[in-house]
Structure 1
Amino acid sequence: MSEIEVSAVLPVFNDRISLEKAIPESLSALEKITDSFELIVAEDGSTDGSREIVEEWEKKNPRVRLFHSDERLGRGRALNRAFEYSKGKILCYYDVDLATDMAYLPQLIDEIRKGAAVSTGSRLMPGSNIKRTTDREIASRGYNFLVRLFLGSRLHDHQCGFKGFNKEILMKILPDISSTHWFWDTEILVRAQKAGYQVAEFPVVWNTGSKTTVKFKDIFSMGTSILKLWWKINVKKA
C-alpha cells in the first residue's frame, strides 16, 4: 500500500444530498493543498443512496474511496476504520455538511506539517464566527466547560467536526479510545493532551448545517461519557 501525504475522511450516515456538494468541493480544496491525497467516504449503514453516489465518484476519480458498512458502526468506529486503512501520513476529517468553512482546510493540514500531533477547528475561541441557535450555543459552552473542569483539557471546543492528525501518533492513541460515537472527538483530544502531544486549536467560521444527526440523547450520553472518562483516567488509570 503506497503512502500518500493527505487522507481526508467524510463520515456519512444518510447524507446523500450533502455528498453531492461535499465530494466535488473537497476534491477542489484538496487539489490546492497537495498533489498527493485521497478522499475517503466512511459511509455508515446509509439507506438513502449515499453509497451509490460515492460508487459513481469512484468510477470517475481514483482519488475517491468508499468505506461502506452494512450495519451502523457509529461515528467513532467508522472513523477508526477509515483512518486505519488510509494511506496518508496526514489524516483529517470534517463534517459532510461542510459546516466549517473549507477555507480553513489548508491551516488544518499545515498545523500537522509544522509538527502538531492533532489540529482542530474551534467555534468558541476569540476570532471564531459561528451561526447557530441560542440553545445550542449554551449547550455547547456548558459541555466544553465541563470537559475542561473534569478532564483538565486546555482547549475551547472539543466537538467541532474539523480535525487533523499525524497518522503515526494517532495510531498510538486509538487503542485507548473507547467511544464509538459522538464522544470520540472529545476523547481523542483529551487523550492526546494527557499523553503530552501538541494539539493546535484555531478559530474558524462555522454555520449550522442543514441537517444535524446529534440528538438530545447524544448530548446526555456525552455528559455521562465525561464522567466515565474521568473515572478511567483518574481512578482506573486507563
Structure 2
Amino acid sequence: MLGLFEPGFDTMSGVCVLGLMTGALIVISLVTLSHMTPWIKRRRSEYLEPESVYRCREKKEFQKLLPEDRDSHRRYTPSTCYLSVIIPAMNEAERIGIMLDDCCDYLEARAEIQPEFTYEIIVVDDGSTDDTCDIVVQIGATRKNLRVLKLKENRGKGGAVRMGVLHASGKLILFADADGATKFEDFEQLEKELLRTAGGDPLDESFPAVVVGSRAHLAAASVAERSFFRTILMHGFHSLVYLFAVRTIKDTQCGFKLFTRSIAARAFPVLHVERWAFDVELIYLCEKWTVPVKEVCVRWKEIDGSKITPIWSWLQMGRDLILIWFRYTIGVWNDDQPQ
C-alpha cells in the first residue's frame, strides 16, 4: 500500500527541492547584484552647505529647505513664496530656451492677475559641458525670478532635482523637465488636485501631499509610434514598477510632479537613487508612509534630444527598481533622515 504513494512523494520532494534551490539562487543573485551596485551615501550637512546663485551681480545664496537644527520641531524652514519650480538640466542649451519661455509666460501672466501668486524658478545645472548655464542667465536678465544653481559635478537627474528641491523656498514645489514636453499651464490641474487633497485654499504647507502628472491616457497613441522592441521594453518596465515598487500610480516617469513643502522636506533627503529611477523610489516612500499621491493627466509630446539611452538606461532602471524593493525589504536602506 505504501508503494502507491512513493512516486507522488518523490515528485513532491523534487518540486520542494527545486523550489528551495530556485529561491536560494534568486536570493544569492539579489545579494550579489546589491553588492556589485554602489550607491553614494549623502549626509545632511551637504544640504546645509551654502549654495550661491550662479553669476548673480550681488552675491546671493539659495534658501535651505532643511533647518540648521536637526532637532527642530519642524522638518522644514518657513516658505517665502508660493511656488518653487525646479528644472534639472544637463547639456540643454538647444532645448531649455523654449521650455523657459513657456514656463515664464505662464508664471508672469498669472502673477499679474494674482499678486499673491509669488514664485521662483531654479534651473539646476547638472555638470553641463555646454553653455546651458550662460543661456539661462541671459534669459534671466529679461525674465523674473529665474536663477541657476550650478552643481560642481554631475549627480544624475535625481540628484539634480533633489539639490534644487532642498534649496527651494516655496509652499509648493514642482519639478519639471527641461525639454518642455509637458505644457506648463497644466500646472493648474496639479495645483487644483493638490488643494482638494490638502483641504482647500489657503494652502497648508504642513499637509503632506503629492500630485504627479500622467501620460497614461496617451499610452495607446504612443505605442502606435514606437517600435515593437521599445514597446516590449516599456511594458516590461511598467510591470517591474508594479511588481517591485509602486501600485497606485500608472506613470511614475513623467517629469512633472508637485509636492507640498512638508513632504518634500521629508522625502528628498532620504532618497538613495540619483539616476532615472529616482521617481520610483520617491513614490515608493510616499506609499510606504501612506502619503496621499494623486495622478492627473497632462498634455505631453515627445521632444527630440532625450538623454535616455533606449537599452542601457532601461537596464539601469530595471536594476534600480529591483534594488529599491530588495534594499528596503532587508533593511540595507531605511527612511531615516541622513546624519
TM-score between the two structures when normalised by the length of structure 2: 0.65
Contact 2:245 2:280 in 1 (8 A): no
Segment of structure 1 superposing worse, 217-226 or 202-211? 202-211
Alpha-carbon separation, structure 2, partners of 1:234 and 1:138:
28
Matched, 1:177 2:259: no
Higher CA-based Rg: 2
Match of 1:158 in 2: 252
Contact 2:166 2:268 in 1 (8 A): no
Contact 1:22 1:96 in 2 (8 A): yes
Matches within 5 A, 1:10-159: 10-34=87-111, 35-114=117-196, 115=198, 117-125=209-217, 130=222, 132-134=225-227, 135-159=229-253
Alpha-carbon separation, structure 1, partners of 2:192 and 2:94:
30
Q: Does the C-alpha gap of structure 1 residues 136 and 119 become closer, same or farther in structure 2, counting only changes over 3 Å?
A: farther
Instruction: Supply the AA of the counterpart residue of 2:325.
Output: W
Report the count of equivalent residues.
238
| Structure 1 SS opposite 2:250 | coil
Residues 68-108 of structure 1: CA deviation (Å, up to 9, x unaligned): 12321211111111111111110111111111233422112
Match of 2:304 in 1: 210
| Structure 2 SS opposite 1:207 | coil
> Cα RMSD over matched residues?
2.2
> Cα distance, 1:111 vs. partner?
2.5
> Cα distance, 1:152 vs. partner?
4.7
**Structure 1: unaligned runs, 5 residues or longer:** none
> Cα distance, 1:59 vs. partner?
2.8
Q: Does the C-alpha gap of structure 1 residues 81 and 152 become closer, same or farther in structure 2, counting only changes over 3 Å?
A: closer
Instruction: Supply the AA of the counterpart residue of 2:269.
Output: P
Contact 1:128 1:203 in 2 (8 A): no
Contact 1:84 1:171 in 2 (8 A): yes
Alpha-carbon separation, structure 1, partners of 2:154 and 2:99:
21
Alignment counterpart, residue 280 of structure 2, candidates 186, 200, 206: 186
**Structure 2: unaligned runs, 5 residues or longer:** 1-62, 64-78, 112-116, 199-207, 335-339
> Cα distance, 1:209 vs. partner?
1.1
Alpha-carbon separation, structure 2, partners of 1:8 and 1:130:
27
Instruction: Supply the AA of the counterpart residue of 1:231.
Output: F
Contact 2:162 2:269 in 1 (8 A): no
Match of 2:315 in 1: 220
- Where relative contact order (Cα < 8 A, 6+ residues apart) is larger, the structure is 1
Alpha-carbon separation, structure 1, partners of 2:125 and 2:289:
30
Alpha-carbon separation, structure 2, partners of 1:109 and 1:129:
26
Segment of structure 1 superposing worse, 61-70 or 25-34? 25-34
Q: Does the C-alpha gap of structure 1 residues 77 and 222 become closer, same or farther in structure 2, counting only changes over 3 Å?
A: same
> Cα distance, 1:119 vs. partner?
0.9
TM-score between the two structures when normalised by the length of structure 1: 0.91
Alpha-carbon separation, structure 1, partners of 2:243 and 2:169:
37
Q: Percent identity?
A: 26
Contact 1:44 1:74 in 2 (8 A): yes
